[in-house]
Amino acid sequence: MEKQIYDLAIIGAGPAGLTAGVYAARAGLNVAMIERGAPGGQMVNTGEIENYTGFEMISGPELSMKMFEHAQKTGAKYVYGDVQDVTVLENGTHSINLGQKEVEAKAVIVATGTVHRPLNVPGEKELSGRGISFCAICDGAFFKGRKVAVIGGGDSAVEEAIYLAGLCEKVYIVHRRDELRAQKILQNRAFAIDNIEMVWDTVVESFEEASGKLGSIKTKSVKTGDVSSLEVDGAFIYVGLDPITNMVKGLGITDARGYIEVNPHMETKLPGVFAAGDVTNKELRQVVTATNDGAIAAQTAYKYIETTLKSS
């Protein structure tokens, strides 16, 4: 099996991993950024970012490209691959298994982010890709001029509903409470858009098929228990995110919800294993906090490698 050796391996090239790459390479480390998808992480699927300081508005793909080019220019190496697992070797280094190849590194930063949580209701799996989507930027255009529903009440649901309202005839936001969780600025924007309609206090019972694709959503009022049918061509599910930590599950560094536990220096309880970004147990999951974590993790990893090297 092909084996590559680095000082530092960063798993995931979203804003956390790319920023860690910039800081680590500038500190003189030989660093690999291992990524299984497109560099930029969740930013790639975000239309407009309006809260990354210095950019009043920048598209997600553009910011992804800028960060990626920046990291590469500093000397951080991009390694394409899907990390299967991470093992701490007896000599204290780390083996990162990518299936067909192996990367060995003195230290590791896990920056694998999160994945959209499914609703787990009947019809969801079967109709995914046939009317049900988890990405408005990717699939919104299929529903141009048609009716769609967005499920959820957080930043993702409201931001993506606003995006969809520009394409679709009608956008229903189906939310289980009578108050949104999303930032006020997004709420106010959504409330001002004529073709967005709020469906409050309502949960999805099932997604129903018509002519081989999504035809309607069976909903239930949590207040009255009444069951209704919402006729839509598309449904976009934004009911939260789950951390991607399967590759480190053997290391015992996650909390009960699966997030990686870190201290303010982005250290896990295992020497030489650090984490950054959305995958960590923190409050605010944003591009700016991911880049912050990445910078700290790289600096701490650099100090760890320097100290370990000097004393060995």
Helices 15-26/287-311 angle, 10° precision: 40
Work out how close the CB of 246 gets to ligand FAD at its nearest, in angstroms, rounded to a whole number. 7
Work out how close the CB of 293 gets to ligand FAD at its nearest, in angstroms, rounded to a whole number. 7
Looking up tokens 């990626």, which residue turns up?
Answer: 68
Q: Which is nearer to ligand NAP, 25 or 287 (CB)?
A: 287
CA distance 149 to 171: 5
Q: Is 180 helix (H, G, I), strand (E, B) or coil?
A: coil
218 binds ligand NAP (CB under 6 A): no
Site string for ligand NAP, 189-208 (x = CB under 6 A): --------------x-----
41 binds ligand FAD (CB under 6 A): yes
User: 241, 261, 281, 288: which one contacts ligand NAP (CB under 6 A)?
Assistant: 241
Residue 189 contacts residue 180 (beta carbons within 8 Å): no
Residue 245 contacts residue 256 (beta carbons within 8 Å): no
Counting Cα atoms < 13 Å in the Cβ hemisphere of 103 gives 29
Site string for ligand FAD, 143-182 (x = CB under 6 A): -------------x--xx----------------------
Find which of ligand FAD, ligand NAP, none residue 123 binds, CB within 5 to 8 Å per kind.
Answer: none
Work out how close the CB of 262 gets to ligand FAD at its nearest, in angstroms, rounded to a whole number. 12
Site string for ligand FAD, 247-286 (x = CB under 6 A): x-----------------------------xx------xx
Which range, of 24-32, 108-116, 227-235, 251-259, touches ligand FAD by CB under 6 A?
108-116
Find which of ligand FAD, ligand NAP, none residue 239 binds, CB within 5 to 8 Å per kind.
Answer: ligand NAP
Residue 160 contacts residue 185 (beta carbons within 8 Å): no
CA distance 158 to 163: 9
Q: Which residues are catalytic?
A: 135, 138-139
Site string for ligand FAD, 8-27 (x = CB under 6 A): ---xxxxxxx----------
User: 159, 233, 267, 293: which one contacts ligand NAP (CB under 6 A)?
Assistant: 159
Say which DSSP state 153 is in: -
In 89-226 the beta strands, taken as DSSP E runs, fall at: 94-97, 101-110, 114-116, 132-133, 147-151, 170-174, 196-199, 202-210, 213-221
Find which of ligand NAP, ligand FAD, none residue 112 binds, CB within 5 to 8 Å per kind.
Answer: ligand FAD
DSSP string, 41-71: GGGGG-SEE--BTTBSSEEHHHHHHHHHHHH
Runs of H (alpha helix) within the chain: 15-26, 60-74, 124-127, 136-139, 155-165, 184-191, 287-311
Binding site for ligand FAD (CB under 6 A): 11-17, 34-37, 41-43, 46, 49, 51-52, 82-83, 111-114, 156, 159-160, 244, 247, 277-278, 285-288, 290
